[in-house]
Structure 1
Amino acid sequence: MAAIFIVGWLTRRLGRYRLGDSLMVMAMLLLLLTAWPPVADNLLEPLESQYDALAAWPEDGEIEAVVVLGGGWQPDRPWSITGRLSESSAVRLMEGIRLWRQRPTLPLLVSGGGTGSEMTMAEGYAEAAEALGVTAERIVTLTSPHDTAAEAVAVQAQLGEGAQVLLVTSASHMPRAMRHFEVAGLAPVAAPTHYLASRTESSRLAYWVPSAHELRKTERAIYEALGLLAIYWEH
């Protein structure tokens, strides 16, 4: 949208006023549409609904671990350990602990790297999990991965080929995460959380007003859709 607007502005500067104006108006309309809740929800919901929420421990299969994928993290902030987790990371960890408590003899694998001397995402998860009552000997930190593909490889190296795991991540990210874990030779069971779509009732005025929050949801939908395409092209 920004590119279309800039092209329109440059076109107008070159004397093509009608075409330039049309391109700039088109960019503004696209911006409004992608920031409109009905559009954002309809783009994101198909991704979030591909896997059902895991209300209880699955009856079939031999689960070897609960795996919580990394998210946003601000290690240098002078906040409590839970405060330094992003919204998505906090919700993922909370869901992971909820599931782990149903089988507390299993390991809780937490993943995510860092930069330089910073405390890694996995270490932040581990500290928060301990503060929330998870025993330290049950926590396994995977501190090297910096993306989902690397997380899948790290889990496979830790548990072995064909290991069945409960995979906890944001619902919109789950289709891509499942594909990465399957490609890595694992048998993931989806445990999606952190739902973003359809959280506002259509009867409320806020549902019909464009906002930056809705624009971020559209951005998330496009990002995840492109990520899925990249996986299928590679494999």
Structure 2
Amino acid sequence: MAFSLKKFISFFLEPFTFGFLILLLAFIFLFFNSYKKAKVFLFIGLMYFFLVSSSIFSNLLMSPLENKYKNQEDIDISKIEYILLLGGDFKARFDEVVKLSKEIQDAKIITSGYEGSRIIPEAIEARDRLISYGITNNRIIIQEKPKDTIEEAISIKKLLKDKPFILVTSASHMPRAMEIFKQQGLNPIAMPTAFTIKENRPNSYLSIGNIKKVHMAVHEYLGLIWFKIKTTLNK
């Protein structure tokens, strides 16, 4: 129930949906001949889409998330026994896990993620792809039941107890993931990947890519708020 409610609320606060609702109001007022209100909401809607499609605004939202665990190169990970590939944006996180698996050749790799709209759980898809890259099956542990990061943390707690492990997820998701895992008493070591902010790039406007970045950032901020509310209510 809570999972579905979170998804429902997030849907209406997504940049595309929110902007569409503003423009829909404009056309509703236009339909009922309220031209002044229609012009106001049309102007707000167009300005809104111009804002969220700019790199200045998208980077402003994304920067606090991606910069929190940006510099992790000096951490000694040579004796870490487990690497967790968090479910979600698997493609963006896969290369980092393969690189780490070569650096720490004895480490076990935990794949996570349920099936969602797919037929096969993401954890199993990840395992199969890791095997295709030469990683042996006996190094891979599958966690195919968790639906979100909170459930993943609970599942990992049962598996690892308080053993340290490397947590691989996208840079924007890392702050929320670290809070959730630490709240469970776990000892994750952040290794973020899939950074979206590219330095020394000129500002861009009216870009779908920037809207997607805003969507990702809003999703993470809402997730952090939801987690804090849930933690407070459970005390």
- What TM-score results when the alignment is normalised by the length of structure 1? 0.83
Counterpart for residue 194 of structure 2: 194
Would you identify which runs of 4 or more consecutive aligned residues in structure 1 move more than 4 Å?
none
1:1-235 alignment, distance < 5 Å = 1-55=19-73, 58-59=75-76, 63-71=80-88, 88-115=89-116, 118-160=119-161, 162-198=162-198, 201-202=201-202, 207-235=203-231
The superposition leaves residues 4-27 of structure 1 with CA deviations (integer Å, 9 ceiling, x where unpaired) of 222222223333311221111111
Shift in Å at residue 182 of structure 1?
1.1
Shift in Å at residue 104 of structure 1?
1.6
The superposition leaves residues 50-108 of structure 1 with CA deviations (integer Å, 9 ceiling, x where unpaired) of 1124336x32896331101112xxxxxxxxxxxxxxxx412312111212222221211
Give the secondary-structure state (helix, strand or coil) at the position aligned to 2:169: strand
| Structure-1 separation of matches of 2:118 and 2:173 | 28
Label 1:229 to 1:111 Cα distance change in 2 as closer, same or farther (>3 A): same
The superposition leaves residues 173-211 of structure 1 with CA deviations (integer Å, 9 ceiling, x where unpaired) of 111111111122211111000011236711xxxx33311
Q: Work out the number of aligned pairs and report it.
A: 213
Deviates more, 1:59-68 or 1:170-179: 59-68
Q: Is the 8 A contact 1:65 1:165 kept in 2?
A: yes
Q: Is the 8 A contact 1:156 1:163 kept in 2?
A: no
Q: Is the 8 A contact 1:113 1:120 kept in 2?
A: yes
Where in structure 1 are there 5+ consecutive unaligned residues? 72-87
Shift in Å at residue 141 of structure 1?
0.9
Counterpart for residue 13 of structure 2: none
Aligned-residue identity in percent: 26
Give me the CA root mean square deviation: 2.1
Deviates more, 1:13-22 or 1:212-221: 13-22
Counterpart for residue 81 of structure 1: none
| Structure-2 separation of matches of 1:116 and 1:3 | 26
Shift in Å at residue 218 of structure 1?
0.7
What amino acid is aligned across from residue 172 of structure 1 in structure 2?
S
Counterpart for residue 4 of structure 2: none
Deviates more, 1:223-232 or 1:39-48: 39-48
Label 1:115 to 1:33 Cα distance change in 2 as closer, same or farther (>3 A): closer
Q: Is the 8 A contact 2:93 2:193 kept in 1?
A: yes
- What TM-score results when the alignment is normalised by the length of structure 2? 0.83
Where in structure 2 are there 5+ consecutive unaligned residues? 1-18
Q: Is the 8 A contact 1:36 1:211 kept in 2?
A: yes
